[in-house]
Chain A
């Protein structure tokens, strides 16, 4: 899932959420808590479509691949055989230019690709959440400053910047992760802020303030648990976008060559003759794996986001 699309989605959501919160205060109607939870529960069931389940299943499969690669891979990723071999019984996907078994490489590559996406998304979600929480809770000049900063960062094109940074720094998996993580928190920050703006008027936050709890305590123990369900889909989409960025950067030779992720495999296949020699078993599998993995994560993320949207429309008085 691409970053600015999510950003735009979040802007729109922001607008409608803010509108919602105004409407809500006028509504005097109140339902019993049991009824609400039952209705929203049923809604959840129906909103997870077949596609989301497929996504979940695929994601579970890739997660398994990440955690236990040695169970699925026939050989070690750096074991060497005869190079440029076509798929056969011994090597299901053939071998590459230096004679590594491509299937094993693929299975072990999952760990690297997914780790990069996961950690980068974790960093960006963390930064976005902290900034959004502070901006939404404190309001005033802090909000102006933080959101202004977010807008400023939003205007800088990310991938060109990452390319320049990656060229200056030696390609290294940790640099890649931190650069990807540090540059993609804006949409999370905006969504968090709009949600916090809505929550800070809630009764339990007001009572916590009256009882004299410090702000950081209210933010952590009262507001944060109530925005997790918004953050989680954002987090999933951030993983997906970080994985695509990683694949793109690896294609340019800016990845860590010692850590063979799917992007690096694809780049090697393209620049080291797999494409010219018509070796589809070399360049197709990593590309398909990236696509499927990103797709599964995005489907789960989108499904959760849709669910969250329905919830917020449905359960106006769960606040």
Chain B
């Protein structure tokens, strides 16, 4: 019970910290808060600036501003993008679906790939193949994701002409979408697998020393049976935590890959927002990403309790 209370407090504190950051940033940063709230390059006249100041509530006290900010947040109102002339929440919702689809597929493929290869590499770490995969994944995890994307785009799309170089689809059909998403998904999966691989490998190396593995061997079970029926189950538990903690990182990696492949998702949106100094959109994007990350972590905690009975039982 105490553990749960602790967890809940932490999630709540994270939530408050994120909203507080988002609230204070435009008000603390150098320059006029009105400019910071509507975006630098949006042109408005003096009179409109004053009107906006009143409308955004910048002439109220900070505590009043914070409560009104929280209430608008709870109404899913993330502000108005003066560049795109649309509410931020609407714009983000439009693009978020594509990004989540792209990230979702890649993370699933990546985690299976990482778990599978990591388990093999951890089972017999001294083998040549294991050493090679370990080294390969260390190298991949050292490449900035967008550079990897750039290289594959150059080789497979420009040089070999096997895949289209931009966009989600030519015609909105499933075949076209899959064709366009193939390369970015490959890059993203490898990127996500490289992170799971190293953890899985270490976890299997630790786990195979346990007595149950020895017992399985004494029982006469063959190697693949021991590894995939017994060890992988226990060893892949840290992967759940990793995936959750990693979510924000993976998502930001996906943003870069989207920019390189010109996929019209959150990545390009954020890039354009940076270029145009569209602060409301940037803040909204940060808020949405942060909350998604928070949610993923909560899910992972629940999943952990569901899968591992030891986590449910009091120690």
Binding site for B on A (CB under 8 A): 1-5, 7-9, 11-12, 16, 51, 148, 151-161, 163-169, 240, 244, 247-248, 251-254, 263, 266, 270, 275, 278, 280, 283, 287, 290-291, 294-295, 298-299, 302
Contacts and interface: CB of A to CB of B under 8 A. Distances in A.
A157 B293 contact: yes
Contact of A156 (B154, B203, B275, B290): B290
Interface in B1-50: 6, 9-11, 13-14, 17-18, 21, 25-26, 29-30, 36
Given A8-B242, A290-B147, A1 B270 contact: no
Interface in B99-144: 135, 138-139, 141-144
Given A157-B289, A270-B150, A295 B252 contact: no
A3 B238 contact: no
Interface string B249-292: 10110001001100000000011011101010011011001100
Contact of B274 (A1, A254, A291): A254
Contacts of A166: 274
B146 interface: yes
A270 B199 CA distance: 33
A287 B248 contact: no
Nearest to A295: B142
A151 B9 CA distance: 11
8 contacts: A5-B195, A159-B252, A160-B248, A163-B252, A164-B286, A169-B29, A252-B256, A254-B274
Interface magnitude class on chain B: 35 or more
Contacts of B290: 156-157, 160-161
- Sorted from nearest, which 3 A-B pairs have the closest CB atoms? A157-B248, A159-B252, A287-B147
A313 to B, nearest CB: 11
Contact of A4 (B18, B142, B154, B245): B245
B304 to A, nearest CB: 13
B17 A152 contact: yes
Given A156-B14, A248-B256, A299 B138 contact: yes
Residue in A161, A164, A266 whose Cβ sees the most chain B Cβ within 10 Å: A164
Q: Could you tell me the dominant secondary structure of chain A's interface residues? A: helix
A281 B29 CA distance: 40
A120 to B, nearest CB: 16
Interface of B: 6, 9-11, 13-14, 17-18, 21, 25-26, 29-30, 36, 135, 138-139, 141-147, 150-151, 154, 158, 195, 198-199, 202-203, 206, 238, 241-242, 245-249, 251-252, 256, 259-260, 270-271, 273-275, 277, 279, 282-283, 285-286, 289-290, 293-294, 297
B297 A155 contact: yes
A224 to B, nearest CB: 27
Nearest to B36: A168
A112 B21 CA distance: 29
A153 to B, nearest CB: 8
Contacts of B14: 152, 155-156
Contact of B270 (A5, A16, A163, A247): A163
A4 B273 CA distance: 27
B286 A5 contact: no
Contact of A155 (B274, B275, B293): B293
A155 B11 contact: yes
A165 B22 CA distance: 10
Residue in B139, B147, B198, B252 whose Cβ sees the most chain A Cβ within 10 Å: B147
A240 B138 CA distance: 12
A153 B249 CA distance: 14
Given A155-B11, A163-B270, A252-B271, 14 more contacts: A5-B199, A8-B199, A154-B245, A155-B297, A156-B14, A157-B248, A161-B290, A167-B279, A169-B29, A251-B259, A280-B154, A290-B143, A290-B147, A299-B138
Contacts of B241: 8, 11
A167 B252 CA distance: 15
A244 B256 CA distance: 12
B275 A161 contact: no
A3 B249 contact: yes
A253 B141 CA distance: 23
Given A155-B10, A155-B294, A165 B25 contact: yes
A160 B142 contact: no
Contacts of A158: 248-249, 252
